[in-house]
Structures are given as C-alpha cells and as structure tokens.
C-alpha cells in the first residue's frame, strides 16, 4: 500500500511539472509598459524567470563570447499578425548580473526585449504592431521626444530614449509590404544631437603607364559613402609647380584625379576642400594628402 502511495505521488508530481511546463508560453495579449515590461516578463528579470514564463526559447545566439546565449528568441508559428500570416516572435537580450556580458547562466538578466508581429501587445499609448504598420506618423507623434533616423527609403527607426521604447519600420523593395519591430530597454539620456559632416577617409595613389592617379574617397559622419561631393585638390609636381583640380564623387563616394604624361619624380595630391550642402568638411578626421614616386 505504501509503495503504491509513493508511486502515485511521484506520478502526480511529474504530471504537475509537465502541466506547468506546457503552460509556460509567450502571452498572446497584454500591456507593454515602456522601459519596464512586456506581457509576462520585465526588464531585470533573470534568464530563469523568463524561461519559467515563456518556456524554453526556440533558439539562442552568442554575442561577445561563444556560447553566452546573449540573445534568445521565442517563435510563435502560424500566427495572424500585421495584416496577414507572419511568424511572430519575441527576443530577449541578456547581460550579466554585474552589468557585464551574459554567460548563459540562470542569473543573467534581461536588458532588452523586442517583438515582431504580436498584434495583441499594446503599449501604454495604445500602439500595437498593426497600428504601427499603418500609422507611422501617428506613432511618432505619441513620442514627441523620440529621435527619428531614416536610414534609407526603406528603413526608419524611432527611439524614445527617455521612455525606453523604440520602433523600426522596414519596407520590402519588391512588394512594398512593411514590417515593424518594437523594443523596450532601460530608459537613458538620448545621445548628443548629430553634427553632420564629411571627411576624406583615404587617398589611394597609383601609376598607370604615363599617368599618376589619385583616388579620393569621401564619407559622412555616419561612415556612409557620399555621392555628389565637390572635391577641390592640388597636385604638386616633381619640379615644384602646382596644379589645381576639382571633381565630383560618384555613388561609391569616389573621385579620381589624373596627371597625364607624367615624368619621373614625386607627385603629391593635397585636398583643399570638400563641399556638401549642410555638411562641413571635417579636416581633423580626414586624410589630407598622399604622395607617390614615379621611377621613370
């Protein structure tokens, strides 16, 4: 009788654990509190607490160290969202309990949570994924202190640093469909305002038959290639004479200056100015001259 009772208790406990494990899942509906929590999980929760709430993640990725599982994703299959059939997902970014890198340990803590396609998650301002897809301007108006960054015609990012909330919109080039990813993080002060500028990142000198070539690359303060920059430069020839040249960069941010019928000696190309509207020339962070020696 005693053996049967113990066996029954063991089976009951195992069944309870299995039931609890099955119940752990990402909630379909709930409120997102910017800079604090999403349904079921809060910033600062441990990895152990997150997996107790959401279950085991679908996959984890390493960050600074192999195997650190600094980013874990829960994928919700066959879920209707953002106006159609999508693969909804939630991602948790971890750090160590001391603020350092994650170590794939139960006491790693959540520093960031992002989600995609979860139409049942609403922020305190009433924004969900479906609303954000169709009302980009309305979303940005709800976060007046947010910084808007338009990376290209197809990608826009809104970050409300002091609220601990961000939204990213991506539009597919081929079909025009738009997807949205939202995130919460620990609120912080916004970065200093951007100061647009351009710089010369490199000058590549080369020789071809009786030509000396100087290839100049122009980037902006975001390290993007700058098209249409007017570059003014000066050649210094072997006899000490100088020759002013100018040109406009192509879509790769490049312009090439050429000396024809070049003779033996040292050729130096010096950048005098780079002109782009509303982008001052950053001489301190530029390569301003380069030389090459022609043997014959």
Looking at residues 69-79, what average pLDDT do you find? 81
pLDDT in tens, 188-213: 999 988 899 999 999 999 999 999 99
pLDDT, position 4: 42
Cβ-proximal residues to 143 (8 Å cutoff; 6+ apart), any chain: 125, 158, 160, 163, 165
257 lies in the same domain as 288: yes
Where in the sequence is the domain holding 33, given as residue range(s)?
26-185
How many angstroms separate the CA atoms of 242 and 7, rounded?
A: 97
For residue 214, give the CATH number of its domain.
2.60.40.10
pLDDT, position 33: 98
Residue that terminates a domain, selected from 151, 185, 219: 185
Cβ-proximal residues to 186 (8 Å cutoff; 6+ apart), any chain: 35, 43, 111, 164
Question: Residue written as tokens 């290839």?
Answer: 215
How many angstroms separate the CA atoms of 288 and 272, rounded?
A: 8
175 lies in the same domain as 218: no
Domain count, the chain: 2
pLDDT in tens, 270-295: 999 999 999 999 999 999 999 999 99
pLDDT, position 110: 97
pLDDT in tens, 265-275: 999 999 999 99
């Amino acid at each position: 009788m005693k053996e049967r009772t113990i066996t029954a208790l063991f089976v009951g406990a195992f069944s309870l654990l299995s039931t609890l494990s099955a119940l752990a899942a990402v909630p379909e509906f709930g409120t997102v509190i910017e800079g604090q929590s999403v349904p079921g999980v809060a910033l600062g929760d441990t990895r152990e607490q997150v997996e107790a709430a959401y279950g085991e993640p679908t996959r984890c990725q390493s960050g600074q160290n192999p195997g650190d599982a600094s980013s874990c994703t829960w994928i919700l299959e066959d879920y209707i969202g953002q106006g159609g059939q999508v693969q909804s997902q939630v991602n948790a970014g971890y750090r160590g309990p001391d603020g350092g890198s994650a170590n794939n340990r139960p006491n790693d803590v959540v520093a960031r949570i992002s989600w995609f396609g979860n139409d049942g998650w609403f922020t305190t301002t009433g924004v969900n994924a479906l609303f954000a897809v169709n009302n980009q301007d309305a979303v940005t108006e709800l976060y007046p202190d947010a910084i808007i960054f338009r990376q290209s015609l197809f990608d826009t990012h809104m970050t409300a640093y002091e609220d601990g909330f961000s939204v990213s919109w991506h539009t597919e080039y081929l079909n025009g469909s738009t997807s949205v990813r939202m995130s919460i993080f620990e609120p912080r002060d916004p970065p200093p305002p951007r100061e647009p500028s351009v710089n010369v990142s490199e000058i590549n000198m080369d020789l071809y038959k009786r030509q000396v070539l100087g290839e100049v690359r122009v980037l902006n303060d975001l390290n993007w290639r700058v098209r249409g920059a007017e570059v003014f430069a000066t050649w210094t020839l072997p006899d000490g004479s100088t020759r002013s040249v100018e040109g406009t960069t192509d879509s790769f941010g490049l312009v090439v200056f050429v000396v024809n019928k070049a003779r033996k000696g040292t050729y130096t190309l010096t950048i005098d100015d780079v002109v782009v509207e509303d982008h001052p020339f950053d001489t301190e962070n530029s390569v301003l001259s380069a030389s090459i020696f022609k043997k014959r």
